[in-house]
Amino acid sequence: MSKRYSSASDALEGLLFDGMSILSGGFGLCGIPENLILAIRESGVKDLTVISNNCGVDDFGLGILLQSRQIRKMVSSYVGENAEFERQFLAGELELEFNPQGTLAERIRAGGAGIPAFYTKTGVGTLIADGKEQRDFEGETYLLETAITTDLAIVKAHVGDEEGNLSYHKTARNFNPMMATAGRTTVAEVELIVPIGQLDPDHIHTPSIYVNRLIQGQFEKRIERRTVRNA
């Protein structure tokens, strides 16, 4: 059965429902599954819990799901450049679970590896520790953090083959490979789909076993913050 779909909306058909949880790859605007995010907005699904490093910018990436009020809760490590994210949170309109970035990455990796929880020193003695189990190992205190798995993971890669093997381009890899392993269903969008066997096995970052559906998208590739200087 082919994993390749003709569009983002087709690839998400039958997967979306109100109140679901979604892992969304990317860091800032780098390596984000922008076609799939747009298709989620157009579907009208609501009350979403979205796990992502941040929430895009006001008019692009996950930010468009904030504008349409489809996100109920964000699990993130950075609020950053999104004024609407900040406004909704401060107004009590958006639930936010804040995570140190390394902890968030490890929670996702653990979920994909079938590890239900782990101990970490990060966050001890801070608000992050409130309500969490703590335990001492060799004289050091650690927090118990639980793994993350979701109903759906959406990721963006540079190249994929017809089986769904994925290769990412440099820093656009970021959260994508670990998120691809932690969704009950994973949908990937790529810039180019090649025949099976064309990808060098050493350059496959996500094996096809983790990818259920695949599309070839068109990408705007915005720059989150452009810094220039006078010549």
The pLDDT of 64-74, averaged and rounded, is 97
Q: What is the pLDDT of residues 204-219, one digit of tens each?
A: 999 999 999 999 999 9
How far apart are the C-alpha atoms of 161 and 196, rounded to whole Å?
5
Phi-psi map region of 197: left, alpha, beta (phi>0 left; psi -120 to 50 alpha): left
Q: What is the pLDDT of residues 19-56, one digit of tens each?
A: 999 999 999 899 999 999 999 999 999 999 999 999 98
Local confidence band at 230 (pLDDT 50, 70, 90 cut-offs): confident
The pLDDT of 104-108, averaged and rounded, is 98
DSSP 139-203: TEEEEEEE---EEEEEEEEEEEETT--EE--GGG-TTHHHHHHHEEEEEEEEEEEE-TT-S-GGG
Q: What is the pLDDT of residues 169-215, one digit of tens each?
A: 999 999 999 999 999 999 999 999 999 999 999 999 999 999 999 99
pLDDT at 72 exceeding the cut of 90:
yes
How confident is the model at residue 229, as a pLDDT? 85
Local confidence band at 58 (pLDDT 50, 70, 90 cut-offs): confident
Q: What is the pLDDT of residues 124-156, one digit of tens each?
A: 999 999 999 999 999 999 999 999 999 999 999
* Domain residue ranges of the chain, discontinuous segments joined by +: 8-115+148-216
Topology of domain 8-115+148-216, per CATH?
A: Glutaconate Coenzyme A-transferase (3.40.1080)
Q: What percent of the chain has pLDDT over 70?
A: 100
How confident is the model at residue 181, as a pLDDT? 98
